[in-house]
Copies of this chain bind each other. A is one copy, B any other.
Amino acid sequence: MALQPTQPVSGDDEFGIIEPLCAVFRRSLKDAGLKYTPERAQILDTIIAFDALFEADQLLDELKTKGFRVSKATVYRTLKLLEDAGIIQRVLFDRDQSHYQLAYGNAGNTLLVRVDTGEVETLELPELVAIRDKICEARGLKPEGHRLQIFATGG
């Protein structure tokens, strides 16, 4: 169970970015023989409303604030389903807790973390993909994904 890369999203996104995520989720659930329940809808909506990274606990709080009553267990179970669907990805830079964010395409693999303020910016870094692919090719490997975190201070 260790060493799993973040699941890359399937690509294209021919519809735009945010709106069809619920459709993507529905399809993914249906394909797995699972249901699109109110709790799962509320969780996805709440995640979309976030503008940045979040933790399971924040999500739980936000759900409560919105008046949704969803249990912690369901939150964790749904996070896993959303990850399977490629809708969110885990972005780990802290051993104590998982941090998640929406996965638009392959975005979000690169994070700029302000260690002084805790701010996090998501970067697009096409050069990095090129470097990655070159490295893999040189070894006869197929790239499956990557994750970069840059830490910085000051400003």
Residues of B within 8 A of A123 (CB): 135
Residues of B within 8 A of A152 (CB): 136, 139, 141-144
Q: Are A148 and B151 in contact (CB under 8 A)?
A: no
Q: Residue A151 contacts which of B92, B140, B144, B151 (CB distance < 8 angstroms)?
A: B144
Answer yes or no: A155 CB below 8 A from chain B CBs: yes
Q: Are B114 and A141 in contact (CB under 8 A)?
A: yes
Q: Are A93 and B141 in contact (CB under 8 A)?
A: no
Q: Are B148 and A146 in contact (CB under 8 A)?
A: yes
Separation of A98 and B92 alpha carbons in the complex (Å):
11
Q: Give me the interface of A with B, judged by CB distance under 8 Å.
A: 1-6, 90, 92-98, 112-115, 118, 123, 125, 127-128, 131-132, 135-136, 139-155
